[in-house]
């Protein structure tokens, strides 16, 4: 069974099969990998992240989705396992989480029944043998009691109590972060037999590959952990389940690891084919390196199409780290020329574009990769020259303070280590992490505070230029494409500075066209209107907003035109703005320049 068939069969079960019992679920599209309104998460790391406000009863699922019963295939990123990615058979940076949810509708018994039915049914399910199932349950602790109800639910579908392991909170208590909805869970382990590992009296406490976790068949959201760490019971029990598509594919395709499934196999083969010399994939180090590249390039591709660019902060830093690790693995371990890395991208896109058509942007994705790889190669060449000049030629055999190289050459720890090893030089990294952390803390403390929205003040001239940024934003999207998004702004009474996502220098013709469009909209004397609405309703209007910004449930949308439906420009914004575009007076672009890889900046004024 292909991974596409597995995904479709999972979703069809909840949407179509359960409709026979009047228990049908609504399929909800995957949310962004960049979560909104979740201050503790850099990335969406589970299927339930987008549903958190519904578990907390801050939003109504019936109003937004038409049902309290939902299912989805969610794109996820987890970075906590980066050090074992490529080594572990089952951990990936990017993965898909198949899941079903009940938001105050059904409970533990139904969740267990549905998972058992889907996993075992040979007609519409996966046809697995239930005699191999070991569903784990929460053993209880000082916060919450043993989950006896779930034990009884598994017994009711035929699982003997002797095959229901009771595990501690470290294994069977789930939460998306340090605060928020949480509860006990039940995970289905599948016994793959003695050829995969020794038998265990209590499966689930080790990483024994014999017992493969194929589904967290129910996180039972009974509590909300507040900022003080206290568990507060929720008014209604909700159910959150999650089955990793990659893990399920391992079992149903009868292979040994995620990297042998159809989700990875073509990528692995492509990587191996690019090596200058034949690679022996039987060698553990080589195999792990290829798998790490496959994982990182897949994750990076999905992040880039979300509008993310490599940078030195937050999500952009993770993307930069992934791409640079790809470079390190390819160049230093697999003998692949850095210019060949982008040749892997078409394979990644081909595997995933049917389900995620937004990936069909090869030129754009390639451009981001190539820019970052070229920049890193320059850093590599510069650092190599530095090491040769200051260490090799001076006969120094050890780098005592690698932080000096990090700071002066912009080289990562891995790059310093690889280049030093290349030259036969040892490196003492004992104080490196502390030095870097101290440097970053100092940099953060020196950053000045900005007015919200980048406004220097709320004067009349600043207000005019603030409104002009809305016109500029839309004009840039019309001329350059919908990939353009505002990345930041700074506005004073004399000029505006507008940063936006774009991977190349604008031509003189493009600059002139953007300027003409803005001035035309000023000339048309369009009204500037404000409406306050719920965030979900505002999103449905197509209003632009920062993907990484945190918004309240009620937002202001400024639109330029007669109505929000046919407005020429509409954005989430706190204001202030002029009442009519004619008040701006005019618009002149002074300069267009690069401020970071994939980010351009326009400086402009309304003084003609």
257-306 pLDDT per residue, tens: 999 999 999 999 999 999 988 878 788 999 999 999 999 999 999 999 99
CA distance 573 to 555: 8
Tell me the per-residue pLDDT of 429-445, one tens digit each, with 9 for 90 and over: 999 988 888 876 665 55
In this predicted model, which residue has the larger pLDDT, 487 or 246?
246
Tell me the per-residue pLDDT of 377-420, one tens digit each, with 9 for 90 and over: 998 999 999 999 999 999 999 999 999 998 888 788 889 999 99
Residues 6+ apart with CB under 8 A from 262: 2, 3, 249, 253, 351
What's residue 228's pLDDT? Answer: 85
Tell me the per-residue pLDDT of 43-62, one tens digit each, with 9 for 90 and over: 999 998 999 888 878 899 99
Q: How, if at all, do strands 211-225 and 231-244 pair?
A: antiparallel
CA distance 309 to 483: 12
- Tell me what the pLDDT averaged over the chain comes to: 90
In this predicted model, which residue has the larger pLDDT, 178 or 585?
585
Q: Is 85 helix (H, G, I), strand (E, B) or coil?
A: strand
Backbone phi, psi, residue 284, to 5° = -55, -45
Tell me the per-residue pLDDT of 300-344, one tens digit each, with 9 for 90 and over: 999 999 989 998 788 998 999 999 999 999 999 999 999 999 999
Tell me the per-residue pLDDT of 436-495, one tens digit each, with 9 for 90 and over: 888 766 655 543 333 345 565 688 999 999 999 999 999 999 999 988 888 878 888 889
Q: Where are the alpha helices (H) located in 305-431, listed in sequence order?
A: 314-328, 345-352, 362-387, 402-409, 413-422
Q: What is the pTM of this model?
A: 0.74
Backbone phi, psi, residue 459, to 5° = -70, 170
CA distance 138 to 171: 8
What's residue 411's pLDDT? Answer: 85
Would you say the C-alpha torsion 592, 596, 597, 599 has a positive or negative sign?
negative
Q: What is the dihedral of CA 298, 302, 303, 306, to 10 degrees?
A: 170
Tell whether residue 466 is among the known ligand binding residues: yes
What's residue 450's pLDDT? Answer: 38
Query: What H or E segment, with its residue span, contains residue 548?
Result: none
The domain defined by 3-260 folds into: BirA Bifunctional Protein; domain 2 (3.30.930)
Tell whether residue 25 is among the known ligand binding residues: no
Confidence of residue 4 (pLDDT cuts 50, 70, 90): very high
Cβ–Cβ under 8 Å, residues 278 and 272: no
**What percent of the chain is predicted at pLDDT more than 90?**
69
Q: Is 92 helix (H, G, I), strand (E, B) or coil?
A: coil
Question: How much of the chain is in helix, strand and coil states, percent to nearest 5?
Answer: 40, 20, 35
- What are the beta bridge partners of residue 212? 190
Cβ–Cβ under 8 Å, residues 559 and 445: no
Length of the chain: 608
What's residue 112's pLDDT? Answer: 97
Would you say the C-alpha torsion 300, 305, 310, 314 has a positive or negative sign?
negative
- Is the pLDDT assigned to residue 551 strictly greater than 90? no
CA distance 498 to 518: 14
- What are the beta bridge partners of residue 244? 97
Confidence of residue 142 (pLDDT cuts 50, 70, 90): confident
Tell me the per-residue pLDDT of 153-192, one tens digit each, with 9 for 90 and over: 999 999 999 999 999 998 998 876 678 878 999 999 999 9
What's residue 44's pLDDT? Answer: 93
The arrangement of secondary structure in 452-605, i.e. its CATH architecture, is 2-Layer Sandwich (3.30)
Tell whether residue 330 is among the known ligand binding residues: no
Structure tokens at 236: 């209604």
- Is the pLDDT assigned to residue 510 strictly greater than 90? yes
What's residue 546's pLDDT? Answer: 63
What's residue 56's pLDDT? Answer: 79
Q: Do domains 3-260 and 452-605 have the same CATH topology?
A: no
Cβ–Cβ under 8 Å, residues 421 and 398: no
Q: Where are the domains of the chain?
A: 3-260, 265-440, 452-605
End-to-end CA distance of the chain: 65
Tell whether residue 577 is among the known ligand binding residues: yes
Neighbour-count burial of 603, counting CB atoms closer than 10 A to its CB (0-12 exposed, 13-18 middle, 19+ buried): middle
Cis peptide before 333, with omega less than 30 degrees from 0? no
Confidence of residue 83 (pLDDT cuts 50, 70, 90): confident
89-98, 180-189, 448-457, 558-567: least confidently modelled range: 448-457
């Amino acid at each position: 069974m292909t991974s596409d068939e597995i995904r479709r069969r999972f979703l069809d079960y909840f949407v179509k099969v359960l409709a026979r019992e009047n228990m049908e679920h609504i399929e909800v599209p995957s949310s962004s990998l960049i979560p909104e309104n979740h201050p503790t998460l850099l990335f969406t790391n589970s299927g339930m992240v987008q549903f958190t406000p519904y578990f907390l009863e801050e939003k109504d699922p019936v109003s937004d989705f038409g049902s309290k019963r939902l299912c989805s295939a969610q794109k996820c990123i987890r970075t906590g396992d980066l050090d074992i990615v490529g080594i572990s058979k089952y951990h990936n940076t990017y993965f898909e989480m198949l899941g079903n949810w009940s938001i105050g509708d059904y409970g533990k018994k139904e969740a267990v029944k549905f998972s058992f039915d889907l996993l075992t049914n040979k007609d519409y399910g996966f046809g697995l043998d239930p005699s191999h199932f070991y569903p784990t349950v929460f053993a209880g602790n000082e916060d919450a009691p043993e989950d006896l109800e779930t034990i009884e639910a598994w017994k009711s579908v035929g699982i003997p109590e002797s095959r229901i392991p009771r595990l501690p909170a470290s294994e069977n208590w789930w939460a998306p972060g340090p605060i928020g909805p949480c509860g006990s869970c039940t995970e289905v382990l599948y016994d793959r037999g003695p050829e995969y590992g020794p038998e265990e009296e209590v499966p689930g406490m080790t990483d024994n590959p014999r017992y493969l976790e194929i589904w967290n068949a129910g996180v039972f959201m009974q509590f909300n952990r507040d900022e003080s760490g206290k568990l507060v019971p929720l008014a209604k029990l909700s159910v959150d389940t999650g089955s990793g598509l990659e893990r399920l594919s391992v079992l149903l395709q009868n292979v040994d690891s995620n990297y042998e499934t159809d989700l990875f196999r073509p990528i692995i083969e492509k990587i191996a084919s690019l090596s200058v010399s034949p690679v022996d994939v039987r060698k553990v180090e080589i195999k792990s390196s290829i798998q790490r590249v496959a994982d990182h390039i897949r994750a990076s591709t999905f992040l880039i199409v979300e509008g993310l660019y490599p940078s030195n902060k937050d999500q952009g830093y993770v993307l930069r780290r992934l791409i640079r690790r790809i470079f390190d693995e390819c160049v230093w371990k697999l003998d692949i020329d850095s210019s060949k890395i982008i040749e892997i991208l078409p394979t990644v896109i081909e595997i995933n574009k049917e389900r995620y058509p937004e990936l069909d942007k090869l030129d754009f994705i390639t451009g981001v990769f190539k820019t970052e790889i070229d920049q890193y190669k320059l850093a590599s060449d510069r650092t190599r020259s530095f090491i040769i000049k200051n260490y090799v030629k001076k006969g120094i055999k050890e780098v005592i303070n690698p932080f000096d190289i990090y700071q002066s050459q912009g080289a990562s720890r891995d790059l310093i280590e690889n280049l030093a090893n290349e030259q036969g030089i040892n490196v003492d990294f004992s104080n490196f992490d502390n030095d870097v952390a101290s440097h970053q803390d100092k940099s953060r403390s020196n950053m000045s505070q900005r007015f919200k929205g980048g406004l220097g003040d709320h004067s009349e001239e600043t207000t005019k230029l603030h409104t002009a940024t809305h016109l500029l934003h839309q004009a840039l999207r019309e001329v350059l494409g919908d990939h353009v998004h505002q990345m930041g702004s700074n506005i004073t009474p004399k000029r505006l500075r507008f940063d936006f996502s774009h991977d190349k220098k604008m031509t003189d013709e493009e600059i002139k066209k953007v300027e003409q469009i803005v001035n035309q909209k000023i000339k048309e004397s369009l009204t500037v209107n404000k409406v306050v609405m719920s965030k979900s309703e505002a999103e449905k209007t197509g209003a632009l907003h920062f993907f990484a910004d945190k918004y309240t449930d009620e937002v202001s949308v400024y639109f330029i035109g007669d109505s929000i439906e046919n407005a020429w420009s509409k954005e989430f914004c706190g204001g202030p703005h002029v009442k009519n575009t004619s008040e701006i007076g005019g618009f002149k672009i002074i300069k267009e320049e690069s401020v970071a890889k994939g980010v351009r900046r326009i400086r402009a004024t309304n003084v003609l």
